[in-house]
Amino acid sequence: MESMSARILVVDDDVALSEMLTMVLEGEGFNVHHAGDGNEAIEKFAEVKPDVVLLDVMLPFKSGVEVCSEIRKVSGTPIIMLTARSDTDDIVKGLEAGADDYVVKPFNPVELLARIRARLRDNNDDGAEVLRVADLTIDVSGHEVTRDGVKIQLTPLEFDLLLLLARKPGQVYTREVLLEKVWGYQYKADTRLVNVHVQRLRAKVEIDPENPTVVLTVRGVGYRAGTPTS
Amino acid sequence: MTITAIITGVMILIAGVFVLTSVGEDLYSQRLEGALQDSARATLQAQQVIDVVAGSDVRSLNAAVYSMRGTVMSVSSSDYLVFKRQIEQPRFIDAPQDIIVGLEFAEQVSEPLTKALLSAESLQYWQPISFKGENGSEVPGIAVGTSINMPSGAGTYDLILGYKLEDTQKTYSFILRILLLTAIFLMLLIGGLVYGISRIVFRPIRVAAATSRRIAMGESDARMPLQNDEYFDMLSENFNQMADALQSRIDELDTLSEMQQRFVSDVSHELRTPLTTVKLATQVLTTKNQDLEPSSARAMEVMVEQVDRFEALLTDLLEISRYDAGRVSITTEPTNIVHLVEEVVENLQPLTNQVIEVRPVGGYNPIDVDPRRIRRIISNLIGNAIEHGEDKPIVVRIDSNSTAVAVSVRDYGVGMSEEDLTHVFNRFWRADPSRKRTLGGTGLGLAIAREDAIVHGGLLEVWSKPGRGTNFRVSIPTSEDEMSFFSPLPLVPEGESGEQQSPDETGGWLKRPRRYLQKAKKIVNQKTGEAKNEKS
């Protein structure tokens, strides 16, 4: 159920671009708010409580990467970075700061909309369901992951990733398949997205991220969920 | 240093041999002199004893000889004596019998000595002999012969005395031992000295060698220390100045390349934002105005197309400038080349009516490459083949061996002349400017593809003949340790062998290109196999 009144916070210092972006998004029925710099972005985020944040990397006062990590401290709201640089560095930095996805300028508006919709997708349509992966318990409807009753905070994207793997324990997912199922990419995209997010997820759910038991790497193929332990 | 030791050794040896021979000769001649004098004295005494004999009867003669023998033995230091009537003399019945003291000695007195005595040209003759010493060793000696004239008809007798040179031999071997010991001692001393001195003398040079090696290994801040040696410190200073100059030049170039990279990056950023805005604006226009008049609709279409083309150009320009600045890092992951090629072909096949045939022979084993870049190479090559393939089939071959994986893309189109081949990797070069472009590349595709291959330590090569088509071959070594590799696929396609190349010619061992790369540290988590690249 895609909320037609989904709130989107656009953070970009370029006025013309922001204006056009707002026009396109509003044309698609979204409720668009705008912030022109990093500080304003933080204020607007607290005020608007958006469903998705579109965040430019190059911002006055506070860089997009900084804004990203500040938002992550308080919320798991999906963040899509808008970057003018396809340099590995910027993208990886943004992803490591907690961005869910990124779009490289000049992006195709259709593609951007697809990315936004993928992040707005609601996955908890399975009713009450409890899954187990390794020593973790996943409460699907409650969007909760616990280990020995202790709740682990995951962003919606990380939750989706873990849930997808957990639904079919033993099945190996390639990075491409994960990109399609979790990020909504219909074509070949940057598999680093998967790598970075798997690392972030591991940092949160694994007892020893060096020796993962929850998200296992199948070398040369992809990832799979660890078998549940009693 | 070894040479110094050898020369010293040889010199000591020569000196030793010289000392030994001269001492030996001197000792021998001294002893000989003594023996000759001794013999002469004894002969004189013996002759006197014989001369006073009155009678010539057997008894008196024998008595004279007996007393002579006593005299000789007492006067001379010799213990060996032969008193023998010379041969070829008339028989004389009363001639006294020969006397032999020391049978062993008598046997040694040889014919030349007796013959020489017979000739009587000189008063004394001598010959070297050897005695059997204790425990069977030979002791050198001298036999000295003189003549004694007997009274009446008894004739001339040889008086041969033997002298052992045992003492001389002992002295000689003693000296030899001393000399040998001295020589060994000297050799050791000189060896040690040479080693020690060379350590001291060559230390600055070793330091210099170590420093230059460190600089060669990339440790650009390595400098030579001062050694408190006038000449060496001069060298140190000059060397350090050179290293400083080199480093500052490298730093300067580094800064320049960084500046250029930043500039291109900034320009690209500045261009990308308005480009995005234009794209968004066209999106707004197209969605809002569905019923544009045909010319406006066409204008809109052209604008969308050209914005895309502009974007592609911008991306390629940024990429090539990144390569030019040497600031490219690759993110590798195990990749199945056959699957990768099949995906690319799947994506490109809809763009053309040409048959794109994939013939994978090997290459199924995943190798560590940057799949984005390899995909880009293959798309570029196939795109190129579509563009120039004259609607004839395109054959993509994949094979691997222990050293490398290769992909070749063959088209049967117009081909290129040798002149064209030299430009094919040049930027913005077009094979035939008058040809219609169907895919509309940026003109940077092959230049980037080649850099993409080189950044993997691989090579992108081309074969082409007018009217016969073109074959591009990219070979990627399977591991980073492979310094040279053997491409598993021929560059010259089968049935197209020229005069100088055989059909299965793969180019032999190819040398891995060395290219300055921004130091990309590959951090591989051993346990999880996760690899990520970090700039350092």
**Cα B526 from Cα B343, distance rounded (Å):** 29
pLDDT tens digits along A212-225:
888 888 877 788 88
Least confident of A116-125, B106-115, B518-527: B518-527
- Tell me the CB-side half-sphere exposure of residue B357, using CA atoms within 13 A: 10
Look-up: residue for tokens 């798991």? A76
**B280 and A24: CB-CB below 8 Å?**
yes
Least confident of A185-189, B99-103, B375-379, B452-456: A185-189
Beta-carbon count within 10 A of B179 CB: 17
Higher pLDDT, B397 or A94: B397
**pTM of this prediction?**
0.55
Name the residue of chain B whose CA is nearest to A112's CA.
Answer: B280
**Cα B44 from Cα B89, distance rounded (Å):** 23
Answer whether residue B54 shows pLDDT above 50: yes
pLDDT of residue B503: 46
Name the residue of chain B whose CA is nearest to A209's CA.
Answer: B528
CA distance A84 to chain B (A): 5
B536 touches chain A (CB under 8 A): no
Higher pLDDT, B438 or B528: B438
What residues does B359 pair with on adjacent strands?
A: B397
* Cβ contacts of B527 on chain A, cutoff 8 Å: 210-211
* Cβ contacts of B276 on chain A, cutoff 8 Å: 17, 105-107
Closest CA to B318 of B271, B376, B285: B271
pLDDT of residue B407: 92
pLDDT tens digits along B197-255:
888 888 878 888 888 888 887 777 888 888 777 887 888 888 888 888 988 888 888 88
Closest CA to B518 of B455, B476, B449: B455
Please provide the average confidence, as pLDDT, over all residues in chain B. Answer: 80
pLDDT of residue A2: 46
| Residue A193 CB burial class (10 angstroms; 0-12, 13-18, ≥19) | buried
Interface test with B, best of A21, A91, A105, A207 (most B CBs within 10 A): A105
Average pLDDT over residues B82-108: 80
Higher pLDDT, B49 or B535: B49
pLDDT tens digits along B346-383:
888 888 888 888 888 888 888 888 888 898 899 889 98
**Cα B496 from Cα B504, distance rounded (Å):** 10
Q: Which amino acid is at B511?
A: K
CB B187 within 8 A of CB B10: no
Average pLDDT over residues B138-156: 81
Name the residue of chain A whose CA is nearest to B304's CA.
Answer: A108
Look-up: residue for tokens 């060793």? B137
Residue-wise DSSP of B406-425: EEEEEE-SS---HHHHHHTT
**A17 and B276: CB-CB below 8 Å?**
yes
pLDDT of residue B413: 84
> What is the distance in angstroms between the CA of the first residue and the CA of the last residue of chain B?
45
A174 falls in which pLDDT band (50, 70, 90)? confident
DSSP three-state, residue B500: coil
Question: Any idea what the Cα angle at residue A163 is, between residues A225 and A116, rounded to 5°?
Answer: 130
A88 falls in which pLDDT band (50, 70, 90)? low
DSSP three-state, residue B303: helix
ipTM: 0.73
pLDDT of residue B533: 41
**Pick from A21, A24, A84: CB nearest B268:** A84
**Cα A66 from Cα A58, distance rounded (Å):** 10
**Cα A112 from Cα A106, distance rounded (Å):** 10
Alpha-helix residue ranges (DSSP H) falling in B88-229: 103-108, 111-119, 166-216
B315 touches chain A (CB under 8 A): yes
* Cβ contacts of B372 on chain A, cutoff 8 Å: 190
**A191 and B333: CB-CB below 8 Å?**
yes
- In which element (H, E) is residue B466 found? none
Q: What is the dihedral of CA B526, B527, B531, B532, to 10 degrees?
A: -100
Name the residue of chain A whose CA is nearest to B529's CA.
Answer: A219
**Cα B197 from Cα B60, distance rounded (Å):** 82
CA distance B442 to chain A (A): 17
pLDDT of residue B529: 40
Q: How far is CA B366 from CA B400, B469, B479, B490, B507, in A?
A: 11, 31, 11, 22, 24
What are the structure tokens assigned to B409, written together?
């893309």
- Strands B531-535 and B367-369 turn out to be unpaired
pLDDT of residue B82: 86
pLDDT of residue B431: 66
Higher pLDDT, B451 or B92: B451
CB A223 within 8 A of CB A199: no
**Pick from A21, A27, A192: CB nearest B331:** A192
Answer whether residue B501 shows pLDDT above 70: no
Average pLDDT over residues A21-31: 87
**Cα A80 from Cα A103, distance rounded (Å):** 7
CB B317 within 8 A of CB A57: no
DSSP three-state, residue B227: coil
DSSP three-state, residue A15: helix
Average pLDDT over residues B486-505: 66
pLDDT tens digits along B300-345:
888 888 888 888 888 888 788 778 777 677 778 888 899 889 988 8
B288 touches chain A (CB under 8 A): yes
pLDDT of residue B296: 82
What residues does B142 pair with on adjacent strands?
A: B128, B163
What residues have CB less than 8 Å from B439, skipping those under 6 apart?
B351, B383, B386, B387
pLDDT of residue B234: 85
Higher pLDDT, B501 or B66: B66
CA distance A110 to chain B (A): 9
Q: Which of B345-354's residues contact partners 24+ apart within 8 Å by CB, and which partners?
A: B345/B382, B345/B396, B347/A188, B347/B379, B348/B379, B348/B382, B348/B383, B348/B386, B351/B386, B351/B439, B352/B386, B352/B391, B352/B438, B353/B391, B354/B386, B354/B389, B354/B391, B354/B392, B354/B393, B354/B394
pLDDT of residue B378: 92
**Cα A91 from Cα B54, distance rounded (Å):** 141
Closest CA to B363 of B337, B342, B395: B337
Q: How far is CA B244 from CA B128, B206, B207, B214, in A?
A: 80, 20, 18, 14
Answer whether residue B16 shows pLDDT above 60: yes
Beta-carbon count within 10 A of B347 CB: 14
Cβ-Cβ contacts under 8 Å between A and B: the total is 85
pLDDT of residue A164: 84
DSSP E strand stretches across B234-377:
333-335, 356-360, 367-369
Query: What percentage of chain A exceeds 70 in pLDDT?
Result: 91
User: What single-letter DSSP state applies at residue A183?
Assistant: I
pLDDT of residue B506: 64
User: What single-letter DSSP state applies at residue A226?
Assistant: P
pLDDT of residue B440: 63
User: What single-letter DSSP state applies at residue B100?
Assistant: E
Least confident of A173-182, B315-324, B350-359, B523-532: B523-532
**Pick from B311, B347, B532: CB nearest A195:** B532
CB A37 within 8 A of CB A61: yes
B290 touches chain A (CB under 8 A): no
Lateral strand order in the sheet of B469-477: B356-360, B394-400, B404-411, B469-477, B459-465
Average pLDDT over residues B113-133: 80
B534 falls in which pLDDT band (50, 70, 90)? very low
**Pick from B273, B331, B529: CB nearest A88:** B331
pLDDT tens digits along B260-298:
777 877 787 778 888 888 888 888 887 776 777 888 888
Answer whether residue A180 shows pLDDT above 50: yes
Average pLDDT over residues A131-159: 81
**Pick from B269, B280, B529: CB nearest A109:** B280
Average pLDDT over residues B504-512: 66
